[in-house]
Amino acid sequence: MNREFEQYRFARIEGRNVTRARLQSQFKDRINDLEELEKAVALELVMETHCAPWRKSEFEQMGCREGMRLAIHEFFGKLRREIPGADRNRSAG
C-alpha cells in the first residue's frame, strides 16, 4: 500500500473518531430539538477544527477533514431519527 495513502486513511479514521467522541460527549444526555442538533452540526462543519493536529501534511489534513465530515453525517443521521417528530417536521416545510 502506498505510504501516503496509508497516512491519509489513518488520519481519516482519527478524524472520524475524534469528531464522533466530541459530538457524543456534547449530546450524551440525548437531544429533543432538531434545531439544536442542526446548529451544533453546522458549527462543527464551519469550524473545521484540526481534529488531529499531529497530522501535519496537507494530505493527512484532507483525510482528517473527510473523517470529520463522515462522523458528523453519521451522527446527525442517527440522532435525527431519534428525535420525536423530526421527520414529520421536515416533510411539512
Write out pLDDT tens, residues 30-72: 666 778 778 877 887 777 666 667 777 888 888 888 998 899 8
**Full-prediction pTM beyond 0.85?**
no
| pLDDT band (50, 70, 90) for residue 9 | very high
Chain mean pLDDT for the chain: 79
Q: How many CB atoms lie within 10 A of CB 40?
A: 19
33 — phi, psi (to 5°)?
Answer: -125, 115
Largest CA distance in the chain: 49
Check pLDDT > 50 for residue 76. Answer: yes
pLDDT value of position 87: 58
Q: Which residues of 60-74 are buried (b: 16+ CB within 10 A; e: fewer)?
A: bbebbbebbbbbbee
Residue 27 pLDDT level (bands cut at 50, 70, 90): confident
Cα–Cα distances in Å, from 76 out to 9, 17, 38, 53, 64?
A: 22, 15, 8, 24, 18
Residue extents of the structural domains in the chain: 3-87
